[in-house]
Structure 1
Amino acid sequence: MSINILMPALSPTMEKGNLAKWVKKEGDKVSPGDVIAEIETDKATMEVEAIDEGVLAKILVPEGTADVPVNQLIAVMAEDGEDAKAVAASAGQGGNSAPAAAPAPAASPAPAAPSAPAPTMHTPASPISANTGKIFASPLAKRIAKMNGIDLTNVKGTGPRGRIVERDVRAILSGDAPKAASSAPAAQSAAAPAQQTLATSASSDSVKALYEAGSYEEISLDGMRKTVAKRLVESKQTVPHFYLSIDIELDQLMALRGQVNSSAPKDADGKPAFKLSVNDFVIKALALGLQRVPAANAVWADDRILKFKHSDVGVAVAIEGGLFTPVVRKAETKTLSAISNEMKDMAARARTRKLRPEEYQGGSTAVSNLGMFGIKNFSAVINPPHATILAVGAGEERVVVKNCQPTVVQAMTVTLSCDHRVVDGAVGAELLSAIKGLIENPMTMLA
């Protein structure tokens, strides 16, 4: 029986994607784990791995096609022993009508089939072999599960013959993606009245009419900029922000940072194994602060609050056309050098849009640091569902009064943006106080 290859949902919020490249061509033999295509989302370019063995019989959506809906049929694969030419011919007869049917799913019950995980495959009750106890899962699913500590024995497979595939693991990470997908029309319908109350921007034509023709350059929005704009507008309109600021002295931190960096071990080329930044200390201090003030280590989830055991801290990384917020998982358990090296790696891959969705989704808070640009203080916009974000200003010399005497110290101002639905003023103040204590006594972060 032929195997349908559908446009995958590479993140819980993905609705469309661009089919950037076919790595495998028609007639190529495919094995489980082989990369068959590259998909561009609003955030990154992701590789799509095969989950079964066979021959790529027919490509129905050519590479370079933009805005391909999730679950649309993009190719057909022939199983071992099956006539690939016959499969290709059969797919070709129905291939031309598939895109036309997609815009009108309500006209017939037939289009409901693509929403199923794998319409042409059988799904047994368990992905675990009764004879060997082996878990049937794709290499990508195993890798994502291992990175996030997910036990695959508790995951229900929706791939061929009950195999656990990438989307099944991502469903666990996102809370319950299959349930969300099945109820998407109802959820969208219920959300529509609320969305209609949000303020809308002026149309492009009305804005352009205010300016002389030829006096400006029009720049089309890419997927990332559209997503950033949408999420931040929704955040400011739906999240009740309030802000708390505090000054933090850095003298002890800067001294310790210098000592640690100067004593860092060298590799064979004489390069230090790590180089700590002030931001690395801030990430660690925020992570430990959330452990000391667990009420702040939470997110808003519509009709409830999710309170977390570990501190997963996002860090805003500016790239051309937008930003990523890669997440340092269980940051409270990691050394400063581990946080430093992890952030350098993720920041580098963020700038080339090579981060995997599980690396920038989730978390309960984030750090936004503009100190390197000389910004003294600012208030950051919360990235839902996070309940807080810490805005970090530049370190500078300031005159303070100590023991009735003016003294010059190195200091910075940080501002905590809070979602008042989750974090009350006293809780936010307690968290800031904990962060201040940790940064001003940095040796406590080395324990």
Structure 2
Amino acid sequence: MKNIKPKFKIIRGGKTNPKISQTFYSAIATRTRLMGVIALKVHWITTENKNFVQWFLLDAEEHGIYDYASILTFNENELDLYTDRFMGSLGGGKVSISEEDVIYLIKNYGRLNLKFNQPLPPPSFEYDFIIKRKNQLDIQGQEALTAKIYEKIESPIQLVNFFLMKVVANDLPGSRYLYCGEDLNIKLVDKASILLKNTVKLVEEHCDRALYTAKSIIDSDSGYINVVTLVETKKAEDEFRVKSVKVVDKFQVPYELIYKEIKKQEHILVYRIGSCEALERELLIIKPKLLKYEFINGLMFVEYRKNNDHVKNEEYYLGADLLAIYFISDFDEFIICYYDENDMNELQNLLNYIKSKGMLSKPKEIVVEGSVIYQYAQNLEEDFMTFINNIVVTNEIDTDV
């Protein structure tokens, strides 16, 4: 699955004016700093007693302020829905933060845009008043904010996965946060890269310390790399930190071998439907937090898991936080893709609900090695069954799912 950060579109309730005076009301942030992206919601009240709400995506991995949306409205009821859609896909908890915290975050991530030569997402004049504010957060306040937005490390396995994820992303503040040794001088890649898979195994442990070996598969600017490291962890004050790290081996790997290691089966259900518009409406009634994307062949809706517990696994995979992809094609097909057979139980409530509306035919079930749904979404116009029969040899059976 591609590591694509979603771009969000919010329907504005009114035009914003950079000269409008506003008073800070509240702000929340996702506790997802170690995943690389924080979602931030800032709520202001204007002099006309309107709600001016801003949503930001803050990307620590060589970007800065990645995405932005806003709304100006008297109606507060629509705010929760937009907030869920903007913040829900990151999988972490949410914490309240102060106005000083907001100013500190926006100013600092705005500096990253300059550092990495990334444009500020438009319309930047709407949040320019925040960037121009003076930072009032002292060292103690910055430490308190860090404790809020960073995930709590609950196990050495989770620590090793997060730490190597940050090292691979060239996220120095993130990796330093997880490190308690004397000098951190490990550098695995020149440019920020993606950790595709990480396999962590215990070598030995003694009291509050343990030694792990980690085999990492990295998608870098220079190709695919396999890296083996020894990571020593230490438990201190109910949290785990990396005490030392050493590179044991590092070598290039051809794509064919990488693909065999990281590919997963894609389970696909294909239904014939009568009305695409009616199905979309019912889908969003039962799953209002889905992320929506428009493609050549129809509409894609993506559902992520409610947490980031996949980082706690001995085998970490990029994209393991994905629960399902729903695609409504322009050829009157409803396509459901999932990647773990155990997730069928999660999908059953949705299927039962839509079936009760009399909207689904008897499905075809297809299992493919790797993922094809993005390829289909961007393909020339044709129905999914024609597409799948042309590109892969499938195991197709009738089912009463």
TM-score, normalization: structure 2?
Answer: 0.28
TM-score, normalization: structure 1?
Answer: 0.26
Structure whose residues are more often helix by fraction: 1
